[in-house]
Structure 1
Amino acid sequence: MRTPTHSGNGLFAAIVMATAFISPALADDGVEIGAPEKQDLKFGFIKLTDMAPLAIAKEKHFFFEEGLFVDLEAQSNWRVLLDRVIGGALDGAHMLAGQPIGATVGVGGSQADVITAFSMDLNGNAITVSNDVWEQMRPHVPNREDGKPEHPISAEALQPVVESYKDEGESFDMGMVYPVSTHNYEIRYWLAAGGLHPGFYEPREGDNSGRSQSDVRLSVTPPPQMPSTMEAGTIQGYCVGEPWNQQAVSMEIGVPVVTNHDIWPHNPEKVFGVTQQWADKYPNTHLRVVRALIRAAHWLDENDNANREEAASILSESRYVGADEEVIANSMTGTFEYEKGDVRQEPDFNVFFRHNANYPYYSDAVWFMTQMRRWGQIPERKSDDWYMDMAKDVYKPEIYEKAAKSLIADGTLSADDFPDFEEMDGFKPVQDDFIDGTPYDGRKPNDYIDSFEIGLSGDETS
């Protein structure tokens, strides 16, 4: 039997090779989860710190202990990643939380039945503007007693800057990573909450730019290219995950103005996605992948983030994120630097396990679809039942629960590490802590959509 690779841990690998077993996994009913139907797996990811559960599951041998031999392969962009999962070149991947939904309902690219049984993390994004834009925004941002800007910063402070661009006949451009990304919906939410229109998609007219009627033009930029694209002046700001906001601070070319935790506290950011066909063909393999990922997420958050320095070191390696370890650690270790020297405590900037981070809530899936509808990607009104049906087609909490309960049953993790699954119904309580204070009830998607001044509502079409 082969052994996993892990630099500096040859002794452990030798012990594993000598024992050569697949870790037993008991389901909650006492029935052992069978051996994986497929052992050799290839998973894709984008070079972002929130791919960490995949890297840790490999480096800490959690995959191997489930009888899985996993190769992790960086992908050039989200579209290529999704297409390779759908086409079978990848068994699964680190995906944008909205990507399996978009694929299933036919928004934002290739259409296929893609599911998720594991949410990889919460939060982790920020919106950064160029130094020039920040200098123009700064007079409109209130100060704390120490003279530093108060956070979160509203997009109202950006309004006069956008107006000045309009007066000069220039467009104000910002980047996001993909049409169905959390980043797209978060920057749109932030802009609209501050009175700026981020634009509509008009798929019936063949216009998928998302710029119709926009005050701010949004465009797709791959995450690692965000800082250089902004430095070149092609975009004036962007919404992206780490380490590419902290990279702008390190390069002294931009200032993060708001995190997505400020826009939507404890929002799901990435998920682990596979096709429904793959999940049906390899159910034991899928369960064992989720078990390994749960263990990795737990490791990342345990003992008040005590392992984050080691995680930052692992992620800095070129085969993973490939950014400076110190830059990665800025956010991974519970702090966040807004400007040079303005380092603030942000213990929940990256959350991988606590706050029930890994549970794939139906209400989260519904939220993403409400934003697809709000901005015209879903061009016509859908019933509340449609949203529920689509959420249940894509998000699979029952698979997550089975994997989690098996970890409890075999003593790997404790029941105290998880919520009471008997109380879970797939929906979070009504959330009223969004940046604009608008309450969200996942059971009433149309009421939520209709509550906004900016965006499609009712029977309006795009």
Structure 2
Amino acid sequence: MERATAQRSSTTQARTWASLIVALILVPILGEARAEPLALERDELKFGFIKLTDMAPLAIAYEKGFFQDEGLYVTLEPQANWKVLLDRVITGELDGAHMLAGQPLAASIGYGTKADLITPFSMDLNGNGITVSNEVWELMKAEIPKGPDGKPQHPIGAQYLKPVVMKFRAEGKSFNMGMVFPVSTHNYELRYWLAAGGLNPGFYAAQDISGQIGADVLLSVTPPPQMPATLEAGTISGYSVGEPWNQQAVFKGIGVPVITDYEIWKNNPEKVFGLTAEFVEKNPNTSIAIVKALIRAAMWLDENENANRDEAVEILARSQYVGADKEVIANSMTGTFEYEKGDARPVPDFNVFFRYYATYPYYSDAVWYLTQMRRWGQIPESKPDAWYAETAARVYRPDLYLKAARLLIDEGKAKEADFPFATDGYRAPTADFIDGIAYDGRAPNAYLRSLSIGLKEGETVASDGVKGP
């Protein structure tokens, strides 16, 4: 399972001499403009990931030598599921990991495992989808408007799923869907989509952490690579997951992706790179070096209008990374997305790794995740707006990101315009959601009030439902 980096013992001496020779050549040319190398506290590191295409910055930083350029000797190790990955970062078995954006935030506030985690790097935008079984799709599509070409018009809202859910209920059957983890983007996106279509996805409570209190649709956790098989077995009727597991359903002929997360929230933040606060405190220069390598990987993935994506697909298809068919991975990674079999459409921003300041850890992104935790009862009581801002600033660390960015600029490896140095950490308010409701990260409670389904100020959840203030 583990992929150890064997280069260290065989190449360290050669690299040292090569670096010295290059330095002697370049000093007269570059003079004072040459940045001093970071004095690393640690150089041998182990990072974890889940087999999803959005782990790409880690794979590329390794394969293209960006980690090694920073003097880092990295082992990349796939993990069985998000819980195992989180626990191993907390215990120090992993030095850092590809994480769900909600994981460092949830750990910080003590939802699930309490731990001080931070993120200095956002790994990507978009990249997820919602897939339903063939049976459900056949029941849905008769009501979905068609375009001039006879194909379904997108985006497809959950209002077209609602009659199917009611049919299941009338027949005495529950409608079950999978998502990857309680604090995953996938959970919150699926809930957002369902609620926007008039379906209640259920609430969490201290005495019932199933998330199914008052639910029209029952959501449960399934690890990403197991989603297609669980759908095929009939255990669930649909799921929300990252790639390549939506396209895998199309490839296998067992399901139909009905919507991408880009259509639910345009350019939504997705995964992050997570570290413990203790690691960063003890290893500040190493932490900056990690971020430098990841920024370069993200730049490589998006540069020249995604010109490197075919090579990225070849790398990700390897068994030590995602290990799925190249054709399946390429569907989304190269700017297309297949809904029904044969209905492939251009989605150039399905996977975004660097453009639109994708790698900057915005406070407003963190606040949105916190609002969804509150909306569905994972945060049991109302919090003032200031609490959201303080929590976001404790976990999201753009200061570390910008230090890494500045070093890359000084080294001539990036441009000033590539990074949002002038931002205060909050994106401009946006209404680019499927329901058109505006989100402003500076006003989380006003945002929660604007959502028709979900907890409002003063409301709590009991085992028998929502209780008013």
TM-score, scaled relative to structure 1: 0.94
The answer for the alignment partner of 2:154 in structure 1 is: 151
The answer for the alignment partner of 1:381 in structure 2 is: 382
Q: Does structure 1 retain, via aligned residues, the 8 Å contact 2:168–2:174? A: yes
The answer for the alignment partner of 1:69 in structure 2 is: 73
The answer for the alignment partner of 1:411 in structure 2 is: 412
Counterpart Cα distance in 2 of 1:320 and 1:452: 39
How many angstroms does 1:140 deviate by?
1.4
Q: C-alpha root-mean-square deviation of aligned residues, in Å?
A: 2.2
How many angstroms does 1:4 deviate by?
5.7
Q: Does structure 2 retain, via aligned residues, the 8 Å contact 1:23–1:65? A: no
Read off the aligned partner of 2:380 and give its amino acid letter. P
The answer for the alignment partner of 1:364 in structure 2 is: 365
Q: Does structure 2 retain, via aligned residues, the 8 Å contact 1:126–1:241? A: yes
Counterpart Cα distance in 2 of 1:61 and 1:100: 28
The answer for the alignment partner of 2:26 in structure 1 is: none
The alignment status of 1:168 with 2:180, answered yes or no, reads: no
The alignment status of 1:78 with 2:79, answered yes or no, reads: no
The alignment status of 1:87 with 2:111, answered yes or no, reads: no
Q: Does structure 2 retain, via aligned residues, the 8 Å contact 1:116–1:273? A: yes
Counterpart Cα distance in 2 of 1:15 and 1:344: 48
The alignment status of 1:116 with 2:119, answered yes or no, reads: yes
Question: Where in structure 2 are the equivalents of 1:384-399 lying within 5 Å?
Answer: 384-399=385-400
Q: Does structure 2 retain, via aligned residues, the 8 Å contact 1:155–1:194? A: yes
The answer for the alignment partner of 2:226 in structure 1 is: 225
How many angstroms does 1:310 deviate by?
0.5
Counterpart Cα distance in 2 of 1:281 and 1:79: 25
The answer for the alignment partner of 1:48 in structure 2 is: 52
Unaligned runs of 5+ in 2: 24-29, 462-469
Question: Where in structure 2 are the equivalents of 1:251-266 lying within 5 Å?
Answer: 251-266=252-267
1:191-219 superposed Cα distances (whole Å, 9 cap, x missing partner): 0000000000011xx21000000000000
Q: Does structure 2 retain, via aligned residues, the 8 Å contact 1:35–1:67? A: no
Counterpart Cα distance in 2 of 1:66 and 1:143: 52
Q: Does structure 2 retain, via aligned residues, the 8 Å contact 1:176–1:221? A: yes
Counterpart Cα distance in 2 of 1:350 and 1:62: 21
Question: Where in structure 2 are the equivalents of 1:302-381 lying within 5 Å?
Answer: 302-381=303-382
Unaligned runs of 5+ in 1: 7-11
Counterpart Cα distance in 1 of 2:69 and 2:159: 51
* Residue from 199, 202, 207 that aligns with 1:196: 199
The answer for the alignment partner of 1:179 in structure 2 is: 182
> SS of 2:132's equivalent?
strand
The answer for the alignment partner of 1:9 in structure 2 is: none
How many angstroms does 1:5 deviate by?
6.1
1:281-305 superposed Cα distances (whole Å, 9 cap, x missing partner): 0000000000000000000000000
How many angstroms does 1:147 deviate by?
0.4
Read off the aligned partner of 2:86 and give its amino acid letter. L
Question: Where in structure 2 are the equivalents of 1:415-434 lying within 5 Å?
Answer: 415-419=416-420, 421=421, 423-434=422-433
Question: How many pairs are equivalent?
Answer: 449
How many angstroms does 1:33 deviate by?
5.3
1:105-164 superposed Cα distances (whole Å, 9 cap, x missing partner): 112x21101000000000000000000000000011111110001111000000000000
Counterpart Cα distance in 1 of 2:325 and 2:20: 37
The change in CA–CA distance for 1:406 and 1:211 in structure 2 (over 3 A counts) is same
Question: Where in structure 2 are the equivalents of 1:233-312 lying within 5 Å?
Answer: 233-312=234-313
The alignment status of 1:455 with 2:454, answered yes or no, reads: yes
The answer for the alignment partner of 1:440 in structure 2 is: 439
> SS of 2:148's equivalent?
coil
1:270-326 superposed Cα distances (whole Å, 9 cap, x missing partner): 000000000000000000000000000000000000000000000000000000011
TM-score, scaled relative to structure 2: 0.93
Read off the aligned partner of 1:292 and give its amino acid letter. A
Q: Does structure 1 retain, via aligned residues, the 8 Å contact 2:196–2:434? A: yes
> SS of 1:291's equivalent?
helix
Q: Does structure 1 retain, via aligned residues, the 8 Å contact 2:35–2:410? A: no
Deviates further, 337-346 or 32-41: 32-41
Q: Does structure 2 retain, via aligned residues, the 8 Å contact 1:22–1:67? A: no
Read off the aligned partner of 1:99 and give its amino acid letter. Q
Counterpart Cα distance in 1 of 2:405 and 2:216: 45
> SS of 1:430's equivalent?
coil
Deviates further, 222-231 or 140-149: 140-149
How many angstroms does 1:34 deviate by?
2.4
Counterpart Cα distance in 1 of 2:351 and 2:65: 22
Counterpart Cα distance in 2 of 1:450 and 1:19: 61
The answer for the alignment partner of 2:464 in structure 1 is: none
The change in CA–CA distance for 1:14 and 1:245 in structure 2 (over 3 A counts) is farther
* Residue from 138, 143, 167 that aligns with 1:140: 143
How many angstroms does 1:417 deviate by?
2.5
Counterpart Cα distance in 1 of 2:135 and 2:145: 18
The change in CA–CA distance for 1:349 and 1:391 in structure 2 (over 3 A counts) is same
How many angstroms does 1:340 deviate by?
1.2
